[in-house]
Amino acid sequence: MNPLEHLQSIQRRCFLQQTACGLGSVALANLLSGAVSAADETPSLAPKPPHFPARAKNVIFLFMAGAPSQLDLFDPKPEMQRLHGQPVPESFLKGLTDSLIKGSARVMASPRKFAKHGQCGMDFSDYLPRLATCADDLCMLRTLHTDTANHDPAQLLMQCGVPRFGLPSMGSWVTYGLGSESQELPGFIVLLSNNGPGDIAGTALWDNAFLPTVNRGVTFRSEGDPILHLASPPGFTRDEQRERLAVINDLNRARLETQPDPEIASRIAAYELAFRMQVSAPDLVSLSSETKETLESYGIGDPKQDTFARNCLLARRMVERGVRFVQLYHYTWDDHSNLNEKLKVNCDKTDRPAAALIHDLKQRGLLDDTLVIWGGEFGRTPMNEVRRGNTPGKEGRDHHAAAFTMLMAGGGIRGGQIIGATDELGYSPTQDPIHVNDLQATILHALGLDHERLTFRHQGRDHRLTDVAGEVISKVFA
């Protein structure tokens, strides 16, 4: 290497070293400034303005985990009666890649009787006589479709917008965007009822993921202490509790000054909320102020109604108190065999309370501001489930992602209408197909939120509930 080349090499190394240090300093300063600004945005459930005027203020989502059979509850198919027990017609199989429908399964007509209800003439099976009385307040969506027919990923897609773990749930997005009108209760509450072990994706369905912790769903028990260990120990007075909390919060604030982490601010807010909930939560779950007529309308006291009836009434009491998003999980509707009998059990437990909730909200003037949603993660096949036996009267249906039914009411929804239609076997949409992300965009729209603007930057990307999809279903609104 000649002297000139050696000098140029030294100059290049010096330039790169000095520039790298300089760029590194700039990057570090930018990261630190980002951390400070994030800490300045103290996580809070204080009410926030929507993007545009909202139709609804609150949401009650009645989630029927395990997937109810739309063909036996909402979508009558006379042609299936003619084809019952026969192989699926060859003309229908053209272009289909579904191995289930091309296998040994045969057409399974519903044994249920359907009738039209309300002035709108909406179809309901005889298993849902109470919900049928709400026909003129309901919007029936017959053409929901999803991306997967496995329970956990389909439930995650319905609640989190993407069929994988680690993303915020719908209730978390809503409270992140709007906060809550309740200062005494969490903004997002989850109530569980079940019919034994079932397929459910667990706490990921109400997780906040990378959103602030204050936006996580809080599970309430329907009886006893709403949250275990919420009450103070015997002999520990409220004043003593307040003093202890003040010391804990002083320590947390001191830590926040030296380490500007938003999660520390969330912890402070959580302690304060828990203190207030020691009074408000027991009052919430006590139904002593409800009339006998109200309790009977929900079916409380009837062992057939299980805990779902109580949870429906609690949901009404929660939105009355300003809770933004209430989610009820009832499972399991996963009827691979003996569908006719098992479906009756779940309908008996949920039909009366769900109808009572809608009527009660309407009577109290709350339905206009409360969006009520009913449905599961996917539907059931038009064929019988061949893996679990074909004993006459004991057949079941397999998972079906291509078409299923959901219900909406209140919150600006135009009731008394059916949106979408499916083919003669109820297999695929033939009119107005609706993807799960479309439903999510519509729910946010009812709350005054633009699903494309409600974002959170995480790991270098702007995330949103609807991921990269979603169109508002404008037909549902009045």
Q: For the segment 34-73, what is each residue's pLDDT rounded down to a tens digit?
A: 333 333 456 678 999 999 999 999 999 999 999 999 999 9
Same domain, 391 and 467: yes
Counting residues of the chain whose pLDDT is more than 70, the rounded percentage is 81
Same domain, 317 and 413: yes
Same domain, 305 and 369: yes
CATH value at residue 380: 3.40.720.10
Alpha carbons 192 and 8: distance in angstroms, whole number: 72
Specify if 228 maps to a domain: yes
The DSSP secondary structure of 131-155, one letter per residue, reads GGGGGGGEEEEEEEE-S--SHHHHH
Same domain, 3 and 124: no
> Among 233-237, 305-309, 408-412, which stretch is predicted with the lowest mean pLDDT?
233-237
Check residue 129 and give left, alpha or beta (phi > 0: left; psi -120 to 50: alpha).
Answer: alpha
Q: Kindly indicate the confidence band of residue 159, based on its pLDDT and cuts at 50, 70 and 90.
A: very high
Residues of the domain holding 4: 1-40
Q: Kindly indicate the confidence band of residue 255, based on its pLDDT and cuts at 50, 70 and 90.
A: confident
Report which of 425, 290, 298 is spatially closest to residue 355, judged by C-alpha positions. 298
234-255 mean pLDDT: 72
Same domain, 438 and 395: yes
16-31 mean pLDDT: 40
At residue 271, the pLDDT reads 62
- Is a pLDDT exceeding 80 seen at residue 152? yes
At residue 232, the pLDDT reads 66
At residue 38, the pLDDT reads 37
Among 119-123, 240-244, 306-310, top mean pLDDT goes to 119-123
Same domain, 148 and 13: no
Domains identified in the chain, total number: 2
**Backbone phi and psi for residue 379, each to the nearest 5 degrees, phi listed first:** -115, -160
Specify if 85 maps to a domain: yes
At residue 250, the pLDDT reads 74
Same domain, 11 and 105: no
The DSSP secondary structure of 381-421, one letter per residue, reads -SB--GGG---TT-B---EE-S-EEEEEESTTB--SEEE-E
Give the C-alpha distances (Å, rounded to integers) separating 144 from 161, 171, 230, 416, 444: 14, 20, 40, 18, 17
Report which of 62, 31, 84, 126 is spatially closest to residue 331, judged by C-alpha positions. 62
SS3 label, residue 355: helix
> Among 228-237, 330-339, 375-384, 439-448, which stretch is predicted with the lowest mean pLDDT?
228-237
Whether the Cβ atoms of residue 440 and residue 471 lie closer than 8 Å to each other: no
Q: Which residue has the tokens 């604030």?
A: 253
CA angle 6, 11, 15 (to 5 degrees): 150
Counting residues of the chain whose pLDDT is more than 90, the rounded percentage is 65
Other Cβ atoms closer than 10 A to 84: 14
Specify if 335 maps to a domain: yes
Length of the chain: 478
Same domain, 221 and 74: yes
Alpha carbons 147 and 121: distance in angstroms, whole number: 31
- Is a pLDDT exceeding 70 seen at residue 143? yes
**Backbone phi and psi for residue 118, each to the nearest 5 degrees, phi listed first:** 75, 175
Report which of 343, 219, 230, 356 is spatially closest to residue 301, judged by C-alpha positions. 356
Report which of 247, 201, 191 is spatially closest to residue 223, judged by C-alpha positions. 191
Global pTM reads: 0.86
Alpha carbons 397 and 74: distance in angstroms, whole number: 15
Alpha carbons 273 and 281: distance in angstroms, whole number: 11
Same domain, 175 and 299: yes
235 CB-near residues (< 8 Å, 6+ apart):
none
Same domain, 388 and 464: yes
Specify if 259 maps to a domain: no
At residue 28, the pLDDT reads 33
141 CB-near residues (< 8 Å, 6+ apart):
405, 406, 407, 408, 419, 420, 434, 439, 473, 476
397-416 mean pLDDT: 96
Specify if 249 maps to a domain: no
Q: Kindly indicate the confidence band of residue 129, based on its pLDDT and cuts at 50, 70 and 90.
A: very high
Q: Which residue has the tokens 């009404």?
A: 316
Residue bearing the bigger pLDDT, 435 or 21 = 435
User: How high is the mean pLDDT of the chain?
Assistant: 86
Q: Kindly indicate the confidence band of residue 285, based on its pLDDT and cuts at 50, 70 and 90.
A: confident
Same domain, 147 and 202: yes
Specify if 297 maps to a domain: yes
At residue 312, the pLDDT reads 97
Q: Kindly indicate the confidence band of residue 222, based on its pLDDT and cuts at 50, 70 and 90.
A: low
Pairing mode, strands 379-380 and 399-400: antiparallel
Same domain, 20 and 167: no
Provide the terminal-to-terminal Cα distance of the chain, rounded to the nearest Å.
81
At residue 3, the pLDDT reads 45
Pairing mode, strands 122-125 and 114-117: antiparallel
The DSSP secondary structure of 266-333, one letter per residue, reads HHHHHHHHHHHHHHHHHHHH--TTS-HHHHHHHTTT-GGGTTHHHHHHHHHHHHHTT-SEEEEEEE--
Specify if 257 maps to a domain: no
At residue 138, the pLDDT reads 98
409 CB-near residues (< 8 Å, 6+ apart):
134, 137, 138, 139, 358, 367, 371, 372, 415
Pairing mode, strands 417-419 and 421-422: unpaired
398-419 mean pLDDT: 97
Specify if 300 maps to a domain: yes
Structure tokens at 73: 């509850």
> How many angstroms from the chain centroid is the CA of residue 409?
15
SS3 label, residue 242: helix
